[in-house]
Amino acid sequence: MLKILTEFDHNDFIPQKYTCEGENINPQIVVLNVPKTSKSLVIICEDPDAPSKTFVHWIIWNIPIKNSPVIIEEGLPKINTLSDGSKQGFNDFGKIGYDGPCPPKNHGIHHYFFKAYALDTLLTIDGKITKEILEKSIETHIIDRGEIIGLYQRK
């Protein structure tokens, strides 16, 4: 199973820096135990506690595996294609890249699932990619997976 390390522990609160009330940048993500046969990684961050649906905060794919562990740097630019060849798609704010936790005020604690997938391929998808398109593209290519859950609440 993939192990994910980041700026918060599993089931702990996400630092404000990574939310809409802070700098709204992605945290550094370190992925351990990546199988040697993996060709790329995918990260999906979503909030199932959102009022109307599971709300997508970030999708990124074709993350290269050069070394182990794989490190996704903090504060990636909010553009489709990054310098390492990885790609970011649209979140449910209608923007490319990461937009952090921003639950409605007085809505209680929300759970943010950062899911990592090791794939046996590089994806060739392009265009206006959403979580649904990404999930359909990876379903037959997943070698391993892992997740970490962060919490956040606005007062």
Q: pLDDT tens digits, residue range 111-130? A: 999 999 999 999 999 889 99
Contact criterion met (CB below 8 Å) for 28 and 19 = no
> Residue 128 contacts by C-beta under 8 Å, 6 or more apart in sequence?
89, 90
What average pLDDT score do residues 4-20 get? 98
Integer Cα distance of 69 and 31 in angstroms: 6
Percent above pLDDT 70 for the chain: 100
Residue 7 has pLDDT above 90, yes or no: yes
Q: What is the pLDDT of residue 139?
A: 97
- Residue with structure tokens 């550094």? 28
Burial of 128 (0-12, 13-18, 19+ CB in 10 A): exposed
Question: In angstroms, how far is CA 26 from the centroid of its own chain?
Answer: 8
With 90 as the cut, is the pLDDT of residue 8 above it? yes
Q: Which amino acid is at 23?
A: E
User: What pTM was estimated for this model as a whole?
Assistant: 0.97
In total, how many domains does the chain have? 1
Q: How many other CB atoms sit within 10 Å of the CB of residue 155? A: 5
**Where would I find the beta strands (DSSP E) of 1-155?**
3-5, 12-13, 29-32, 40-47, 55-64, 70-72, 87-88, 110-119, 142-152
Amino acid 68: pLDDT: 81
- Residue 75 sits in a domain of what CATH number? 3.90.280.10
pLDDT digits (tens, 9 = 90+) for 51-105: 999 999 999 999 999 888 999 999 999 999 999 999 999 999 999 999 999 999 9
- By residue range, what is the domain housing residue 21? 3-152
